[in-house]
């Protein structure tokens, strides 16, 4: 090992459906940075499935770059944004503390001090990996403001959809229903204090509908259950795919609105008063509720990720938040 350097292992997506662990070297710690050794992490199944398949459109190559990403789209690329670890070196106030960082999957890494957010004492490290997903969900509720106090439907009971439902249910008088084609997600809904329905028995005339299924049929369901002059908030991202949108029928006569929501920018309603860091800090603090452990899948060892990823990312498995355990 060269003098002053440290070895690290990182996961890289190298071709469609294939990933590998590569060794990297960290030089001496720079001024104003911290060195973090990963303790646990998580796969963002929806986004990373598109990246693993090479389906990031060329028009989005720059906008889709994640914090501290390595390489470039489509391949090879080091991508991910959920890492929880312990600070090994840096300012005294942070050394020994556990932090959340928007960073790719890597055993040890250096980031600027401001990129490492301390994990509150009432949030277990395994649950802290949900911070990036919670940030997306929080931004979505801000995009939907003012949140209605009546019927709210969330189509797609994945991690982000479930978190949006969880946050909406905090609104006084809100009646939140999680809608999914998988009836097994009813247990998740109950755990989070939400109603559950399949598309066939979903409530109608909802005042707000959030679509998070990443499937065109889910978007059609969202439009079907929306009430007159209500908003369908679109959280799904389809990469390079083309999606049919059923804008015939009663879409115009009911004066429905489809509004996009994306975490890259703070929602306009909060942009003047809330920074990206402040938004992420709020998201981490919202993870103190133990019910959110229902979103976590048993951990996979980091070294096994290349062989396990096809199964983890498969839409047929419908996994929730896949935890990563680091050595």
| Residue 276: inside a domain | no
Number of independent structural domains in the chain: 2
DSSP 60-97: GTTTTPPTT-EE-SSSSEE----EEEEEEES-TTTTT-
| Residue 202: inside a domain | yes
- Looking at the DSSP assignment, which residues form a beta bridge with residue 10? 22, 106
> Is residue 196 within 8 Å of residue 185, measured between CB atoms?
yes
- The range of the structural domain enclosing residue 158 comes to 134-260
Between CA 304 and CA 25 the distance in angstroms is 21
Q: pLDDT by residue for the chain (327 residues), tens digit each?
A: 444 579 999 999 999 999 999 999 999 999 999 999 999 999 998 899 999 999 999 999 998 999 999 999 999 999 999 999 999 999 999 999 999 999 999 999 999 999 999 999 999 999 999 999 999 999 999 999 888 889 999 999 999 999 999 999 999 999 999 999 999 999 999 999 999 999 999 999 999 999 999 999 999 999 999 999 999 999 998 877 788 899 998 899 999 999 999 999 999 999 999 999 999 999 999 999 999 999 999 999 999 999 999 999 998 888 899 999 999
Helices marked H in 103-257 — which ranges? Answer: 125-128, 131-143, 159-168, 185-191, 216-225
pLDDT of residue 316: 82
| Residue 22: inside a domain | yes
Q: Could you tell me the maximum CA-CA distance found in the chain, to the nearest angstrom?
A: 70
Claim to verify: residue 220 and residue 248 sit in the same structural domain? yes
Claim to verify: residue 121 and residue 140 sit in the same structural domain? no
Between CA 83 and CA 126 the distance in angstroms is 10
CATH of residue 120: 3.90.180.10
């Amino acid at each position: 090992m060269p003098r002053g350097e440290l070895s690290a292992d990182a996961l890289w997506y190298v071709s469609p459906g294939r990933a590998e662990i590569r060794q990297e070297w960290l030089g001496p710690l720079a001024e104003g940075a911290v060195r973090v050794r990963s303790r646990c992490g998580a796969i963002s199944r929806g986004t990373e499935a598109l990246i693993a398949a090479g389906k990031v459109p060329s028009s989005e190559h720059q906008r889709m770059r994640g914090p501290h990403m390595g390489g470039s789209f489509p391949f090879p690329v080091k991508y991910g944004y959920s890492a929880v670890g312990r600070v090994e070196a840096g300012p005294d106030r942070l050394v020994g503390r556990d932090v959340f960082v928007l960073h790719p999957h890597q055993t040890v890494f250096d980031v600027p001090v401001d990129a490492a957010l301390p994990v509150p004492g009432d949030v277990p490290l395994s649950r802290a990996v949900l911070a990036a997903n919670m940030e997306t969900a929080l931004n979505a509720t801000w995009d939907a403001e003012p949140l209605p106090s009546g019927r709210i439907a969330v189509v797609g009971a994945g991690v982000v959809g479930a978190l949006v439902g969880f946050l909406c249910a905090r609104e006084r008088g809100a009646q939140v229903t999680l809608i999914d084609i998988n009836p097994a997600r009813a247990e998740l809904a109950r755990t989070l204090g939400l109603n559950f329905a399949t598309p066939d028995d979903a409530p109608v005339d909802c005042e707000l509908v959030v679509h998070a299924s990443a499937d065109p049929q889910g978007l059609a369901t969202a439009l079907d259950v929306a009430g007159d002059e209500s908003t369908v908030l679109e959280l799904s991202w389809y990469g390079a795919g083309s999606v049919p949108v059923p804008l015939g029928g009663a879409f115009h006569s009911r004066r429905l609105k489809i509004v996009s929501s994306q975490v890259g920018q703070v929602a306009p309603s909060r942009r003047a008063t809330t920074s990206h860091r402040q938004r992420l800090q709020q998201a981490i603090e919202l993870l103190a509720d133990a019910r959110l452990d229902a979103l976590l899948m048993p951990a996979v060892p980091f070294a096994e990720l290349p062989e396990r990823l096809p199964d983890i990312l498969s839409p047929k498995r419908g996994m929730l938040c896949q935890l990563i355990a680091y050595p």
